[in-house]
Structure 1
Amino acid sequence: MSTTPVTSSAATEKAPDAAGGLDRKVLLVAGVVVLGAIMSILDVTVVSVAQNTFQNEFGTDAAGAAWTMTGYTLALAAVIPLSSWAVARFGARNVYLTSLVLFTIGSALCAMASSIGMLVAFRVIQGLGGGLLMPVGMMILTKAAGPERVGSVMAVLGIPMLLGPIAGPILGGLLIETASWHWVFLINVPVGIIAFIYSWIILRDKEETSRPSIDIIGLLLLSPGLAAFLYGISTSAEEGTFIAAKVLIPAAIGLVLILAFIAHALRSKSPLLDLRLFGNKTLSISVVSMTLFMIAFFGASLLYPQYFIGIRGESTLAAGLLLAPQGLGAMLTMPIAGRLTDKMGPGKFVLGGLVLIVAGVGTFTFLGADSSYWLLCGALFVQGLGMGMTMMPIMSAALATLKSEQVPDGSTLVNVVQQTASSIGTAIISVLLASNLAAHAESKLAIASNAAPEEYDKLVAAGQAPAEVPTQWLDWGASAFAGAFVVSAVLIAVTFVPAFFLPRKRVAGAESAPVMMH
């Protein structure tokens, strides 16, 4: 494979054909990236299901068990900013293979942990590998396909991103109920070995590497800044408020470090992350749209299983199955939207998708303790249709206008924003839900004759309904969820504003950019 610059007219002539589909070589590379993404994304949601199990197995409380999630997230935040530099220094293939090894070894170690402290430490090792899988995989796939087919490859990459939150609870519940918590991690080992061998065979193209000097100042500002900020934000879910010292102090320190990095990066000739990419209007609009969308999407994703488990008394496995219509809807529209985005631009699809998502989430703003499952599953299906038309077209718009040498920084930037926005969304909705439930505390005490006042609080926390819970308590609980869904729906509606300015015609890379010739 060679990279040959073409003129503007040549690029224009080739683009429609290239955008028509993905050839065999690109699909093989896509398989490599999707395998890595599946491991990384599924692991987050699978482990979230095992939180109560960790408490029982290791004799810890909810805060201690939550560190199995927090430690992984902080490792991701620390390592993602390094991905662009690491690819330039060592090559995308070598970095990707190393990431697979780290993630697989970390998974095996997690399964052998004998204390909560060991498990958290091994989760950090997992996170160091998992944090590089998505941004580096995105670089590999974008380079293989070329700017004309970014929409199509993003649709392929979007499958694990959208299905992870749905398949994770199903897989986690199944493994814990039929085997043991160890298999939550052990399942990654054979998949990791297969992914490594497959990647070793497929990723054979020679890469040009350089010896760029690492931006030490930028690294010392951005990595700990992101980690501290996300730690503070994540802690808010545990504290039930944003104004606790445990939340504000690390979040403020992280924000100061991030702002200092921004000032440094705009002055530096070779920053760790090139923020001058925001001079690209399409990229800037896409990042703003993606930030709002991710906050709303990940916030709402947190609520669905909690409602089915806490209010309706379903098992973890049943809750995961009830979420399946969302994934089915996304699978229907995502491939179509990906291919047509390459030809028609992302704007029309994103706006149409947002309409469907608002309609789907809007249904959950009227939740009751006995809402029809047919109605709710239908709403999830409609929402899934919208997801397939929204998330990946936004991401493809962010990358499609970049030159080939800008893709590593662009991919890193997209992943930093995605990780930060998802953590913010989860925190906002968690705190809002806790606040809504607490608002009913006095009313609960007034009718506590049939059950202890604490029973209702255990309803959501323990993931199962008590034997005797007054129907009115469940109605209030459903109302608390409905109020949180209102915020998610509003955030999605606000996304219409930046999304309105996304391109509504084909977005090709810079016209003078090289086109991959096979």
Structure 2
Amino acid sequence: MEATMQGSTQPGEKKFKTIPILVSLLLSGFIGMFSETALNVALSDLMKVLSITPTTAQWLTTAYLLTLGILVPISGLLLQWFSTRQLFVAALSFSILGTFLAAISPSFEFLLTARVVQAMGTALLLPLMFNTILVIIPAEKRGAAMGMIGLVIMVAPAVGPTIAGLLIESLSWHWIFWLSLPFLVLALVFGILFMQNVTKVTKPRIDLLSIVLSSIGFGGIVFGFSSAGEAEGWGSPKVIFTIAIGVVALVLFGIRQMKMKQPMINLRAFKFPMFVVGVAMVFICMMVILSSMLILPMYLQQGQGYTAFKAGLLLLPGGIINGLMSPIMGRLFDKYGPKWLVIPGLIIVAVTLWFFSGITAASTVAFVIVLHSTLMIGVSMIFMPAQTNGINQLPIELYPDGTAIMNTLQQVAGAIGTALAVSIMTAGSKNYLKTVSDPADPSNALPAFTEGVQNAFMFGMGVAIVGLILAFFIKRVIVQHKTQASMH
């Protein structure tokens, strides 16, 4: 252990140029997250321009998540096969190519392909970013460092919709991607100049069956849930079949990993109870964030009749507050541990979503801004502290596996959350129309849509309450002893 892991990190604590490495990773991470959510505000616009339905448009988000769900589990293996520099250059190259293709997209199919290429870049970058930070930053300062990641990861989705709205209003949706391109090129140049190799390349045996099972498993579940958000609904054979195949493949994948000497993802990480709680919290948080970030812009544009820019502008304060809270929560976490942040955070999230479930076409701008900002404060209290506390319990040799598990399940949670929210919203609207005398009357469309949106927020509240019950089991991990124990 000493020889493998410490060989790559110990002599290097001084040698690592921490700031330039962090700048390269955070800049590219920021643009990756920006383009992931900037498109949400453009969906209403894209539906008109490309003549597609909401469920087809949802695939621009779903295909992105599906690609991440398939590739991120393999990232733990890639981190052991390729150097930090090689993976960074590959990640940025995919991101740049995907962004360029999206910027010149003439049709929906072309744009969908570009999103998949973009997602390949993000799938390599996210685990690389977390793993590198875990290696180069000592445990006692990790909360603050993860807080900085939180600042970047949360501000990007926050400013994304606002900037996207402005670009759509004055230019066209293509400019969302043209704007990202120079920053990605800059991050690549910066990375080539300053990125260092922080992990040792061990080249473990590649087990093709594990890769196939993992891809079918995570891919099937993400695809099944996303299809359920479409018109066919939960009862369709396609949905039931793909989810069932996904679950069976994942069970077989899990059994195979436990029997292998060198597993693709070391599931022994789940033997650490705080890691399990951390994973559950991150899962719940991602479901709430991504479903809200999809439903809210739709509601503001279709329910309240705002332009894409105004809808983005209304979501900006909440996102900025979340970003600013992240480093503060990181420092509070380093000082007090996770419990006194996570439990109040989940109470805030549940109460806010309950208020959101009463939203109507007459709800004021101030009401939406205050609620969204409060929701984002709650999320910042849960996400990073639970994630850092969970990974802190793992011995160093399980870091690549821990980050791969966390990042994979974030994508799966995002896909499940958005699919459930969209299908609950659609079902709510349909049920409302069944109760009126003339469903075809245009005056019934808005109340039906509002009813659907309210139902989607009620679902989010239910998820938050489940998280709150789990949060009572969270305990602070004392890192000093853990890392030393795993090193000696």
SS of the residue corresponding to residue 475 of structure 2 reads coil
Task: Between 25-34 and 58-67, report the one with greater CA deviation.
Answer: 58-67
1:76 matched to which residue of 2? 68
Note closer, same or farther for the CA distance 1:58–1:439 as it changes in structure 2 (3 Å cut).
closer
**How many Å apart are 1:101 and its aligned residue?**
0.9
**How many Å apart are 1:382 and its aligned residue?**
1.9
1:413 matched to which residue of 2? 405
Q: How does 1:442-457 map to 2 (within 5 A)?
A: 442-446=434-438, 453=441, 455=442
Distance in 2 (alpha carbons) for counterparts of 1:507 and 1:324: 36
Q: Conserved in 2, the CA contact under 8 Å of 1:225 and 1:257?
A: yes
Pick aligned residue for 2:461 from 466, 470, 489: 489
Distance in 2 (alpha carbons) for counterparts of 1:365 and 1:61: 25
Distance in 2 (alpha carbons) for counterparts of 1:234 and 1:85: 27
What's the CA shift string for 1:348-388, capped at 9, x where partnerless?
11112122222322221222321232233222222222222
Distance in 2 (alpha carbons) for counterparts of 1:69 and 1:380: 21
Task: Between 69-78 and 256-265, report the one with greater CA deviation.
Answer: 69-78
Note closer, same or farther for the CA distance 1:258–1:514 as it changes in structure 2 (3 Å cut).
closer
Note closer, same or farther for the CA distance 1:24–1:177 as it changes in structure 2 (3 Å cut).
farther
Note closer, same or farther for the CA distance 1:490–1:143 as it changes in structure 2 (3 Å cut).
same
Distance in 2 (alpha carbons) for counterparts of 1:367 and 1:382: 15
**How many Å apart are 1:423 and its aligned residue?**
0.9
The answer to whether structure 1 residue 129 and structure 2 residue 111 are counterparts is no
Distance in 2 (alpha carbons) for counterparts of 1:3 and 1:393: 31
2:281 matched to which residue of 1? 289
The answer to whether structure 1 residue 480 and structure 2 residue 480 are counterparts is no
**How many Å apart are 1:211 and its aligned residue?**
2.1
SS of the residue corresponding to residue 32 of structure 2 reads helix
The answer to whether structure 1 residue 355 and structure 2 residue 327 are counterparts is no
Structure with higher Rg: it is 1
Q: How does 1:46-57 map to 2 (within 5 A)?
A: 46-57=38-49
Distance in 2 (alpha carbons) for counterparts of 1:212 and 1:296: 37
**How many Å apart are 1:55 and its aligned residue?**
4.6
Q: Conserved in 1, the CA contact under 8 Å of 2:68 and 2:122?
A: yes
2:9 matched to which residue of 1? none
SS of the residue corresponding to residue 370 of structure 1 reads coil
Structure 2 gap ranges (5+): 7-12
Note closer, same or farther for the CA distance 1:185–1:62 as it changes in structure 2 (3 Å cut).
same
The answer to whether structure 1 residue 382 and structure 2 residue 374 are counterparts is yes
What is the TM-score of this pair, normalised by structure 2?
0.90
AA at the equivalent of 1:503:
K
Report the identity percentage. Answer: 26
Task: Between 293-302 and 340-349, report the one with greater CA deviation.
Answer: 293-302
What is the TM-score of this pair, normalised by structure 1?
0.85
1:268 matched to which residue of 2? 260
Task: Between 389-398 and 23-32, report the one with greater CA deviation.
Answer: 23-32
Distance in 2 (alpha carbons) for counterparts of 1:506 and 1:230: 35
SS of the residue corresponding to residue 406 of structure 2 reads helix
2:426 matched to which residue of 1? 434
Distance in 2 (alpha carbons) for counterparts of 1:436 and 1:130: 34
Distance in 1 (alpha carbons) for counterparts of 2:294 and 2:111: 23
2:335 matched to which residue of 1? 343
AA at the equivalent of 2:273:
K
Distance in 2 (alpha carbons) for counterparts of 1:407 and 1:273: 11
Aligned residues: 479
The answer to whether structure 1 residue 182 and structure 2 residue 154 are counterparts is no
Q: Conserved in 2, the CA contact under 8 Å of 1:404 and 1:514?
A: yes
The answer to whether structure 1 residue 319 and structure 2 residue 311 are counterparts is yes
Note closer, same or farther for the CA distance 1:282–1:477 as it changes in structure 2 (3 Å cut).
same
Note closer, same or farther for the CA distance 1:509–1:414 as it changes in structure 2 (3 Å cut).
farther
Note closer, same or farther for the CA distance 1:307–1:104 as it changes in structure 2 (3 Å cut).
same
AA at the equivalent of 1:271:
P
**How many Å apart are 1:280 and its aligned residue?**
0.9
AA at the equivalent of 2:402:
G
**How many Å apart are 1:282 and its aligned residue?**
1.1
Pick aligned residue for 1:512 from 456, 464, 484: 484
Q: Conserved in 1, the CA contact under 8 Å of 2:344 and 2:378?
A: yes
2:149 matched to which residue of 1? 157
What's the CA shift string for 1:80-139, capped at 9, x where partnerless?
112111111112221122101111012112223334333322322222112111111111
Distance in 1 (alpha carbons) for counterparts of 2:54 and 2:298: 16
Task: Between 30-39 and 421-430, report the one with greater CA deviation.
Answer: 30-39
Structure 1 gap ranges (5+): 7-17, 456-468
**How many Å apart are 1:277 and its aligned residue?**
0.6
Distance in 2 (alpha carbons) for counterparts of 1:4 and 1:78: 28
**How many Å apart are 1:179 and its aligned residue?**
1.7
Note closer, same or farther for the CA distance 1:303–1:507 as it changes in structure 2 (3 Å cut).
farther
Distance in 2 (alpha carbons) for counterparts of 1:109 and 1:5: 39
AA at the equivalent of 1:174:
L
**How many Å apart are 1:165 and its aligned residue?**
3.6
SS of the residue corresponding to residue 175 of structure 1 reads helix
Note closer, same or farther for the CA distance 1:3–1:373 as it changes in structure 2 (3 Å cut).
farther
AA at the equivalent of 1:181:
W
Note closer, same or farther for the CA distance 1:513–1:150 as it changes in structure 2 (3 Å cut).
farther
